[in-house]
């Protein structure tokens, strides 16, 4: 009986359900109790057919899941790894990875590292030469490529002759551009003018014999008519009087807005007189057609060179 019972129990799809009644106990009740049968399970029991349907559904879900996993494995094997990298037709911006043997270059000037500073650029110290007058007191600097020659300056006595020297400065084309006198001078005259100062700067190395400072200046004078005895002083220039431009070194007081005299560029020094000025074409008056043209010339290199020469004057 036991082997047959075991075989029947092994094929029972609900053998492990605790709600299924024991077969032996049921058979005993059938033989001993009154005959009263029902084809329904107890209210707490799950019908056998419903349990079979549940198992069938569960088996179907498991089969579908296994099939999906298998399909994914096959797709991964045949198609390779999935990646978000765009295809060759796309344009990618950003930095590119280069091999060590391929140096990275760029056409953008802002991204090119700055190289070493150019060599051989002349400095202020190497771009000028220094001229010293024979007595060793007065000196000035001038650009490389320019030249200086000396000539006899004016003098009043034979004793003062050797100490009066004019340094004539020429540019790299040989044209005379400036004259500097160190010595003795007694000539000159002044008149009434209306002065327009375009530029002026102190000359640190020059102070006159009385301790008054000197300045470099670039200005234009409009000469006022000469007054006659019994007539009032003129206040307006004659229409025919052209502007007279000059660029030299004078006492600082001559570049004040109140200056109304043509004055002089002779500065008394312990060894005589200093007179330093730029040479303008005496046959071309005015030198500049308009004040605006004069200001344009001030922005050029030649003006800067001549100004630096006069500012470098030094007495020691």
Structure confidence at residue 103 as a pLDDT band (50, 70, 90): very low
Percent with pLDDT over 70 in the chain? 54
Whether the per-residue pLDDT at 304 is higher than 60: the answer is yes
Res 310: pLDDT: 98
Task: Say yes or no to pLDDT of 166 above 70.
Answer: yes
110 against 79, higher pLDDT: 79
Confidence (pLDDT) at 126: 52
Provide DSSP, the chain: -HHHHHHHHHT-TTTT-TTSPPHHHHHHHHHHS-----SS--TTSPPHHHHHHHHHHHHHHHHHHHHHHHHHHHHHHHH-----PPPTTS---S-----TTS----S-GGGSPP-PPPS-PPPTTTSEEEEE-TTSSEEEEEETT-EEEEEEPP-SSHHHHTT-EEEEEE-TTS-EEEEEEEE--------BEEEEEEEEEEEEEEE-TTS-EEEEEEEEEEEPPPP-TTSPPP-S--TTPPEEEEEEEEEGGGGSTT--B-----EEETTEEEEEEE---TTSSSSSSSHHHHHHHHTSHHHHHHHHHHHT-EE-
Q: What is the pTM of this model?
A: 0.58
Given a cut of 80, whether residue 257 has pLDDT beyond it is: yes
Q: What is the pLDDT of residues 262-293, one digit of tens each?
A: 999 999 999 999 999 999 987 887 899 998 99
Position 224 confidence tier, pLDDT thresholds 50, 70, 90: confident
pLDDT of residue 179: 98
Tell me, rounded to whole angstroms, the distance of Cα 275 from its chain centroid. Answer: 44
Contact 235, 224 (CB under 8 A): yes
> How confident is residue 189, by pLDDT bands cut at 50, 70 and 90?
confident
Task: Work out the average pLDDT over 86-113.
Answer: 35
Q: Are 310 and 279 in contact (CB under 8 A)?
A: no
When mean pLDDT is compared across 159-168, 186-195, 206-215, 222-231, the lowest value belongs to 222-231
The confidence score (pLDDT) of residue 92 equals 32
Query: Which range has the worst mean pLDDT, 21-25, 89-93, 151-155?
Result: 89-93
Q: Which residue has the higher pLDDT, 157 or 103?
A: 157
Question: For the segment 13-50, what is each residue's pLDDT rounded down to a tens digit?
Answer: 555 555 555 666 666 666 665 554 444 444 445 555 66
- Answer yes or no: is pLDDT of 121 > 60: no
More confident residue, 2 or 199: 199
Report which of residues 277 and 71 the model is more confident about. 277
**Cβ contact 164:180 at 8 Å:** no
Distance CA 33, CA 151 (A): 162
Q: Domain coordinates of the chain in residue numbers?
A: 2-79, 128-315
């Amino acid at each position: 009986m036991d082997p047959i019972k075991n075989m029947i129990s092994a094929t029972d799809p609900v053998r492990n359900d605790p709600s299924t009644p024991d077969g032996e106990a049921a058979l005993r009740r059938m033989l001993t109790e009154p005959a009263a049968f029902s084809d329904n399970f107890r209210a707490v029991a799950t019908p056998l057919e419903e349990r079979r349907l549940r198992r069938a559904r569960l088996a179907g879900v498991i089969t579908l899941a296994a099939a999906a996993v298998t399909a994914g494995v096959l797709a991964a094997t045949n198609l390779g790894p999935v990646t978000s990298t765009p295809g060759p037709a796309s344009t990618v911006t950003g930095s590119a990875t280069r091999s060590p043997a391929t140096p990275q270059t760029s056409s953008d000037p802002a991204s090119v590292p700055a190289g070493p500073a150019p060599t051989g650029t002349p400095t202020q110290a190497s771009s000028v030469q220094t001229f010293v007058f024979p007595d060793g007191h007065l000196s000035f600097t001038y650009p490389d490529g320019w030249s200086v020659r000396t000539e006899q300056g004016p003098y009043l006595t034979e004793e003062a002759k050797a100490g009066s020297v004019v340094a004539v400065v020429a540019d790299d084309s040989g044209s005379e551009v400036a004259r500097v006198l160190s010595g003795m001078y007694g000539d000159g005259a002044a008149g009434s003018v209306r002065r327009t100062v375009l530029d002026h700067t102190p000359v640190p190395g020059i102070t006159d014999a009385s301790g008054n400072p000197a300045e470099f200046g670039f200005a234009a004078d409009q000469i006022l008519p000469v007054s006659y005895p019994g007539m009032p002083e003129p206040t307006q220039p004659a229409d025919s009087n052209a502007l007279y431009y000059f660029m030299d070194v004078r006492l600082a007081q001559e570049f004040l807005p109140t200056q109304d005299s043509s004055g002089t560029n002779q500065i008394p020094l312990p060894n005589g007189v200093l007179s330093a000025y730029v040479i303008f074409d005496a046959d071309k008056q005015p030198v500049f057609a308009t004040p605006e043209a004069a200001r344009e010339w001030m922005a050029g290199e030649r003006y800067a060179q001549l100004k630096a020469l006069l500012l470098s004057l030094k007495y020691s």
